[in-house]
Amino acid sequence: MNLALSEEQEMLKTMARDFLADKLPKTAVKEMEESEEGYSAELWKEMAGLGWMGLAFPEKYGGSDMSFLDLAMLLEEMGRACLPGPYFSTVVLSGFTILDIGTDEQKDEYLPKISSGEAIFTLVLTEPSANYEESGIETKAIAEGDSYVISGTKLFVPDANVADYMLVAARTDKGITLFIVDAKSPGISTTVLKTIANDKLCEVVFDKVKVSKDNVLGEPNQGWPEIEKIIQRAAVGKCCEMTGCIQQALDMTVEYAKDRKQYGHPIGSFQVIQHYCADMATDVDGTRLSAYQAAWTLSEGLPCAQEVAIAKAWAGEACPRVMALAHQIHGAIGVTIDHDLQYYTRWAKAAEVSYGDASFHREVVAKEMGL
Amino acid sequence: MDFRLSEEQEKFRQEVSDFLEGEIKQGLWEPSCDAWIMGHNPEFTKRVSRKGWIGLTWPKEDGGQGRSYIDRLILTEEMLRYGAPAACHWFADRQIGGAVVHYGTDQQKKELLPMILKGEAYVGLGMSEPDAGSDLASLKTKATEDGDDFIIDGQKTWTSGGNNMNWIYLVARTDPDAPKHKGISEFFFSTDLPGISVAPIEDITGGVHFNEVFFENVRVPKTCLIGVRNKGFYQILNQLDYERSGMERLMANYPLFEALIQYTKETKRNGKPLSQDPLIRSKLAQLKIGLEIGRMHMYRVAMVMDEGRAPNWESSMSKVYGTAFEQRLAGTAIEILGLYGQLSPKSKNVPMRGMAYHSYLSSKGYSLQAGSSEVLKNIMAQRKLELPSQ
């Protein structure tokens, strides 16, 4: 047992932290949040140039052959920086899925495009039922000759407004099937929702969208177990981002508590404030430990259902506790729109409900316990 | 990063677990909560000693096994999982032996360590006093030099294990004129001396592990002083890191958790097992999550110790976290039992041998022993987060 990061991981983390601190001041985050696209194409190119898109993909697909655990380090720093944009959708939700279950042709065609930053992908899964259950999928794909025809409404789809390709989950005759769909296909219409994180969650309506049978991803009708793996991977990825998010909130809060004076003393010298900060630190460390454990287990290819569920259930409860105390300690300045803290507050709330909230994952743990 | 235990460690866990299961099967004892502190069973301790499981982390030249703190954590985790009656050797093994190894003279090591290894030192922890709790450095018990001896006078309280001790670990003031942190020394001596009297304190469970201990002109040879005279407070700070670091701060009432899961599977309400009720599933899963997060904190502490560092903020964090978890476990158990939760272990109809009732009451003390959660949060704030002290 060993909790230390490898030298490579340390380097990756430091490099990512420095790069994002330099390129992504909160004014830039604000610009991205307010833009139509929700990201900066320029920054996207630079990230691709650093090899971030293909970090964990094999070299033959333009990647760097590193592991999911290595990627987890990067995600933590992205959470720390509140990076907006379609990285998570493209790499975590889509790239890994293609790598996992795509045909050789599909991998050859799409993965290099992801690694180079040329294409943006997203996962089109959830619907107005707003859950991560198989029964929540009503969008239909009906076989017609060499094609399928997809019809239905998807909701809470991240980054569909800028995606070049979509991995779409739809109900086929005997189960759920995943498709790789060109986002420019006729019949797809996308509307951006207004969200707490100011990210680009969309409603995507499929009106008789024709997709070639060659674009089925994985086995027809066998998509649900694969989607469960996608949700698992996404949940771990989110936990890593959440770790970075609340670590930064804690760091900002501690700095503030050292600077801010009341009654002639820094407020950080008062026991109540110290105890709040200690509570925050305990939550942050628990979140990190469990996120790393889940990321490591998944990365090693070991069964990880319990580890993932524990990490996400924990993070889902720890984040709001940490953010509540961050605000309490920052006082009124922290609830102003010009203060950086609000980016984390809003982002953390969205992360909490994404890819299974705490009660969703508690039920997974209950099952794993044999209850 | 690697979250796996080594093959050797897994084998060791299995060995400990097989041994304990064998003991239970033979009916030698029943698993219970708080058995690490209340389960005085000299025969069990002898058997553990014969296994070589006391002094596991001490250097081989001191009679230990030279094994890692992770190994020791595995051992204690299994002891607690099975609720084994390990109180006779727990304190000597956990902190006093280590203090002797670290600070003792060769002569002290030669005399004291074999006794501890044989499981013959039932140690009481003489630290707190009526006016020196969290502010331990305010202690008043005096050790006055007199020829080759010290004369000890004063009173200790909340002395864990005092009702069963044959040796006591004592902190006393050796220099009344020095600033309060700088005049304290540590002693370790047999309680078979004139002038020592013990008054057990019944706790809210009706059990006893706390005691008042009185010292009246107790003459102790100077060779009982451990480490450097007047530097005792700084030695203690280090030992406290170890005292706080153990698995007993997370799993003291673990047998209750297993019994509770079993209970919800076997008990029906409205024709369905309680374990099928979504609210109860959620509560039990929450406990499981809390336990696993706590285990990671504990393993981190052991890893810090294996790196040769004193785990000061890490063990503070794990102890605050762990004891709050234990309290939550006890509270949740009573909630799930409902009306049955109020029945005492001695009552007719009591479920789970009354472990929920006992644990609910006993766990109130967990967040006080070995550093109150408030003191420990100060440590975290000041040493980890570097917030200013006032």
User: For position A293, which CATH number holds?
Assistant: 1.20.140.10
Determine the pLDDT at residue B163. 94
Counting DSSP H helices and E strands in chain A, the numbers are 12, 10
Instruction: Tell me if B381 and A4 make a contact (CB, 8 A cut-off).
Output: no
Asked whether residue A108 falls in the same domain as residue A129, the answer is: no
Inter-chain touch A277–B385, beta carbons under 8 Å = yes
- The stretch B99-122 carries a mean pLDDT of 96
Question: Is the model's pLDDT at A12 over the cut of 90?
Answer: yes
pLDDT category of residue B239 using cuts at 50, 70 and 90: confident
Given an 8 Å threshold on Cβ–Cβ distance, is B2 in contact with A2?
Answer: yes
**Which of A98, A119, A140 is a domain's end point?**
A119
Closest Cα in chain B, distance from residue A163 (Å):
35
Considering CB atoms only, which of A3, A266, A359 is closest to B1?
A3
Q: Could you tell me which residues come within 8 angstroms of residue A222 by beta carbon, excluding any fewer than 6 positions away?
A: A175, A177
Q: Check: CATH 1.20.140.10 for B245-384?
A: yes
Calculate mean pLDDT across residues B206-226. Answer: 96
Buried b (16+ CB within 10 A) or exposed e, B227-240: bebbbbbebbebbb
* Residue A177 parent element (H or E): strand A175-182
Within a domain: A2: no
Residue B10 has a CB neighbour count (10 Å cut-off) of 12
pLDDT (0 to 100) of residue A281? 98
List chain B residues with CB under 8 Å of A298. none
Give contacts of B257 with chain A, Cβ < 8 Å.
Answer: none
pLDDT of residue B101: 95
B349 shares contact with chain A (CB less than 8 Å): no
Residues 276-305, chain B, touching A (beta carbon < 8 A)? 276, 278, 281-282, 284-286, 288-289, 292-293, 296-297, 299-300, 303
Rg, C-alpha atoms of chain A? 21
Residue A215's domain comprises 122-221
Q: What is the pLDDT of residues A43-81, one digit of tens each?
A: 999 999 999 999 999 999 999 999 999 999 999 999 999
Task: State the Cα angle at A112 between A108 and A116, rounded to 5°.
Answer: 170
Residues 6 or more apart whose CB falls under 8 angstroms from that of B119 comprise B42, B45, B46, B48, B49, B54, B88, B89
Question: What mean pLDDT do residues B75-97 have?
Answer: 96
Q: What is the distance between the terminal CA atoms of chain A, rounded to a whole angstrom?
A: 29
Query: In the block, which residue shows the tokens 């316990």?
Result: A369
- pLDDT tier, B237 (very low <50, low <70, confident <90, very high otherwise): confident
Pick the closest to residue A95 from A62, A133, A53 (CA basis).
A53
Q: Are A250 and A350 members of one domain?
A: yes
Token couple for B131: 């006016």
Which CATH number is A20's domain given? 1.10.540.10
Q: Mark whether A209 and A231 lie in a shared domain.
A: no
Do the chains contact at B288 and A310, CB–CB below 8 Å?
yes
Count how many domains chain A has: 3
pLDDT category, B238, cuts 50, 70, 90? confident
Tokens of A218: 């994985």
How much is the CA Rg of chain B, to the nearest whole Å? 21
What does the pLDDT look like over A269-317, one tens digit per residue?
A: 999 999 999 999 999 999 999 999 999 999 999 999 999 999 999 999 9
- Paired strand residues for B189: B168
For the stretch B241-285, pLDDT in tens is: 878 888 999 999 999 999 999 999 999 999 999 999 999 999 999
CA nearest A181: which of A137, A151, A203, A145? A151
Is residue A170 included in any domain, yes or no? Answer: yes
CATH number of the CATH domain containing A136: 2.40.110.10
- Are A204 and A114 in a shared domain? no
Quickly tell me which residue has 């430091």 as its tokens: A14
**pLDDT band, residue B218 (cuts 50/70/90):** very high
pLDDT given for residue A101 in this prediction: 98
Q: How far B324 CA sits from the closest chain A CA (Å)?
A: 12
Quick one: A165 and A294 in the same domain? no
Are the beta carbons of A290 and B292 separated by less than 8 Å? yes
Name chain A contacts of B372, Cβ cutoff 8 Å: none
Cross-chain CB nearest to A258 (options B1, B317, B387)? B387
Q: Taking residues B71-82, what's their average pLDDT?
A: 98
Closest CA to B368 of B244, B196, B227: B244
Q: Indicate the angle between helix axes A358-368 and B278-306, nearest 10 degrees.
A: 80
Residues A241-246, mean pLDDT to the nearest whole number: 98
pLDDT at B139 over 90: yes
Pair A29, A101 in one domain: yes
Q: Looking at the domain assignment, is residue A228 inside a domain?
A: yes
Instruction: Please indicate whether, in this complex, the C-beta atoms of A271 and B374 are within 8 angstroms of each other.
Output: yes
Q: To 10 degrees, what angle do helices B312-337 and B232-244 make?
A: 40
pLDDT value at residue A4: 94
Flag whether A126 is in a domain. Answer: yes
* Residues whose CB is less than 8 angstroms from the CB of residue B140 and which lie 6 or more positions away in sequence, other chains included: B129, B131, B132, B154, B173
Out of B5, B299, B388, name the one closest to residue A266 (CB).
B388
Residues A72 and A154 in one domain: no
Residues B132 and B176: beta-carbon distance below 8 Å: no
Query: Looking at the whole model, is its pTM more than 0.90?
Result: yes
Structure tokens at B197: 């009297």
How far are the Cα atoms of A81, A112, A124, A185, A212 from residue A170, in angstroms, in the given order?
Answer: 34, 26, 9, 16, 14
How close A273 gets to chain B, by Cα (Å)?
9
pLDDT-derived band of residue B390, with 50, 70 and 90 as boundaries?
Answer: confident
CB-CB neighbors (< 8 A) of B320 in chain A: 278, 282
At A122, the pLDDT band (50, 70, 90 cuts) reads very high
Q: Round to whole Å and give the CA distance between B339 and B357.
A: 11
Phi, psi of A24 (to 5 degrees): -130, 60
pLDDT of residue B243: 80
Helix H, strand E, coil C: the string for chain B is CECCCCHHHHHHHHHHHHHHHHHHHCCCCCCCCCHHHHCCCHHHHHHHHHCCCCCCCCCHHHCCCCCCHHHHHHHHHHHHHCCCCCHHHHHHHHHHHHHHHHHCCHHHHHHHHHHHHCCCCCEEEECCECCECCCHHHCCCEEEEECCEEEEEEEECCCECHHHCCEEEEEEECCCCCCHHHCEEEEEEECCCCCEEEEEEECCCCCEEEEEEEEEEEEEEHHHEECCCCEHHHHHHHHHHHHHCCCHHHHCCHHHHHHHHHHHHHCEECCEEHHHCHHHHHHHHHHHHHHHHHHHHHHHHHHHHHCCCCCHHHHHHHHHHHHHHHHHHHHHHHHHHHHHHHCCCCCCCCHHHHHHHHHHHHHHHCCCCCCCHHHHHHHHHHHHCCCCCC
Q: Is A179 within a domain?
A: yes
Pick the last residue of a domain from A203, A221, A239.
A221
Please count the CA atoms within 13 angstroms of the CA of A213 that sit on its side-chain side.
9
The answer, yes or no, to whether residue A146 has pLDDT greater than 90, is: yes
> What's the pLDDT at B245?
83
Residues A10-17: what's their mean pLDDT? 98
Fold category of B7-121 in CATH = Butyryl-Coa Dehydrogenase, subunit A; domain 1 (1.10.540)
Q: Residue B274: its chain A contacts at CB < 8 A?
A: none
| Closest alpha carbon within chain B to A283 | B321
Distance between CA atoms of A155 and A129, rounded to whole angstroms? 9
Show which of A162, A189, A221 is a domain's final residue: A221
Residues A114 and A232 in one domain: no
Domain-by-domain residue ranges, chain B? 7-121, 124-230, 245-384
Q: Read off the pLDDT of each residue in B215-234 and give the average, rounded to a whole number.
A: 97
Residues A207 and A318 in one domain: no
The reply to whether residue A371 touches residue B275, judged by beta carbons under 8 angstroms, is yes
CATH assignment, B124-230 = 2.40.110.10
pLDDT tens digits, B180-194: 999 999 999 999 999
**Residue A71, in any domain of the structure:** yes
**Angle at B252 (CA atoms; ends B246, B254), nearest 5 degrees:** 120
Confidence category of residue A238, pLDDT binned at 50, 70, 90: very high
Question: How confident is residue B287, by pLDDT bands cut at 50, 70 and 90?
Answer: very high
Say whether both A180 and A98 belong to one domain: no
**Which chain A residues touch B286 with a CB distance below 8 Å?**
313, 362
Res. A350: pLDDT tops 90: yes
Distance from CA of A265 to the nearest CA of B (A): 8
Mean local confidence (pLDDT), B23-47: 97
Specify the pairing of strand A165-172 against strand A121-124: parallel
In a domain, A1, yes or no: no
User: Is B278–A363 a contact, with Cβ atoms under 8 angstroms apart?
Assistant: yes
A-proximal residues of B, 82-111, CB under 8 Å? none
Cβ count near A72 (within 10 Å): 27
Tell me the nearest-neighbour CA distance from B300 into chain A, angstroms: 7
SS (H, E, C) A72-106: HHHHHHHHHHCCCCCHHHHHHHHHHHHHHHCCHHH
Confidence of residue A95 (pLDDT cuts 50, 70, 90): very high
pLDDT, residue B307, reads 93
Report which residue type is found at B167. W
Question: Is residue A304 located within the same domain as residue A333?
Answer: yes
Nearest-neighbour CA in chain B from A36: distance (Å): 40
Cβ(A32)–Cβ(A85) below 8 Å: yes
Choose, out of B10, B77, B385, the residue to mutate when testing the contact with A (most A CBs < 10 Å). B385
Inform me whether the pLDDT recorded for B240 exceeds 90.
no
